[in-house]
Chain A
């Protein structure tokens, strides 16, 4: 009787494992087939390195160096856009930078429309090596027709550590 019970328990686990395998194969097949049928299909394997992510559609790098950004800021030749949250922006930001929080892009972008023409330089930034909000904002502006858009990776930390002009508040 005990043996029969063990046999049945084993069958239950074996049946679960077989079902897991079927579910995995079914999902994998559906996912790949539907993706291949899409007009905007994702490549199955993509390059997610910072270099690949920070390259525009034209192949030109979106990255601006700290020195170049500093020169643009000093000459008042570029509008700096802070892509972080309003809370982070209020705690400290590059002096004269405008806040366009990426999560509220549609609400905030109207402020930018009225201030700059599409030929002005724009420098976006976020904070942290892996933060992608600056590049997301830069790519969105490029797709809207702004031509001179760059992003300063890890911008706030690098700007602050270089002792460049900063300010607090809204």
Chain B
């Protein structure tokens, strides 16, 4: 009897350990690595990134350079914080917000027929190769999955834990 209890206890412990420790850690490492990797090239080539920001045709001219200067560092800081687990709640919120913003911008420009490579609106959508643009949108949407999971785990699971603790 004691053996079965011990076994069940072990199984429960492993499940909870996986759910509360391993899965969030994997999600944080994946997103952290993606954000750090994405920031490096932009930090090294700020002028080219400013052009890319301009090509999105979403921001007023006065904000383009400031965005190009600060956004890559924001991505790097968030990537590092996600990996080392510092400021977890704030990092998870910002990463989810940024990914949703990138996805929204990609879908918006796809819908209005803007080629973000050159910043030009294609005059006719007939025969235009949309595959890379659709791929960007799908990729951004894919990264939102671990971000939403982390958001759920960081806030919802913690709230549940708080309730159990209070009871």
Write the nearest CB–CB distance from B104 to chain A, whole angstroms: 19
Per-position contact with B for A5-38: 1 when CB-CB < 8 Å, else 0?
1001100110111111011101110111011001
A65 smallest CB distance to B (angstroms): 20
Tell which of A2, A26, A46, A48 touches B77, judged by Cβ atoms closer than 8 Å. Answer: A26
Main secondary structure of the interface of A (DSSP, over half): helix
**A31-B70, A35-B46, A43-B65 as given contacts; A23 in contact with B155, CB under 8 Å:** no
Q: How far is the CA of A45 from the CA of B66 in the complex (A)?
A: 7
Q: Which of B90, B91, B121, B122 has the most CB of A within 10 A?
A: B90
- Determine whether the beta carbon of B69 is less than 8 Å from that of A32: yes
Number of interface residues of A (CB under 8 A): 49
Query: Assuming A22-B87, A42-B65, A132-B55, is B81 touching A127 (CB within 8 A)?
Result: no
Q: Within the assembled complex, what's the spacing in Å between the Cα atoms of A61 and B76?
A: 38
Complex Cα gap A19–B91 (Å): 8
Interface of B is mostly: helix
Given the known A-B contacts A12-B89, A23-B94, are A132 and B65 also in contact in the complex, defined by CB atoms under 8 Å?
no
Decide if B118 touches A133 in the complex (CB within 8 Å).
Answer: yes
- B159 partner residues in chain A, CB cutoff 8 A: 5, 8-9, 12
Contact B90 A22, beta carbon cutoff 8 Å? yes
List chain B residues, Cβ under 8 A from A12.
89, 155, 158-159
**Complex partner residue of A103 from B66, B73, B117, B121, CB under 8 angstroms:** B117
Q: Are B73 and A44 in contact (CB under 8 A)?
A: no
Which residues of B sit under 8 angstroms from A106, Cβ to Cβ?
A: none
Closest B residue to A24 by CB, please name it: B74
Contact indicator A23/B64 (Cβ below 8 Å): no
Those of B56-93 within 8 Å (CB) of chain A:
57, 61-62, 64-66, 68-74, 76-78, 81, 87, 89-93
Contact (Cβ within 8 A) B74 A23: yes
Do A133 and B74 touch across chains, with their CB atoms under 8 A apart?
Answer: no
Establish whether residues A31 and B90, one from each chain, have CB atoms under 8 Å apart when the complex forms: no
Of B69, B77, B92, B94, the most chain A CB neighbours within 10 A belong to B69
With A5-B163, A23-B81 in contact, is A132–B90 under 8 Å at CB?
A: no
Considering the chains assembled together, what is the distance between the CA atoms of A91 and B71 in angstroms?
38
Using CB atoms, name the residue of chain A closest to B63.
A45
Using A42-B46, A128-B120 as known contacts, say yes or no to A23 and B90 having CB atoms under 8 A apart.
yes
Give the nearest-CB partner of A3 in chain B.
Answer: B166
With a cutoff of 8 Å between Cβ atoms, the chain B residues found around residue A85 in the complex are 129
Distance, CA A162 to CA B163, complexed state (A): 72
CB-defined A-B contacts under 8 Å, sample of 15: A5-B166, A16-B93, A22-B87, A23-B94, A27-B70, A31-B71, A38-B46, A42-B65, A43-B65, A49-B61, A102-B118, A127-B123, A129-B121, A131-B115, A132-B51
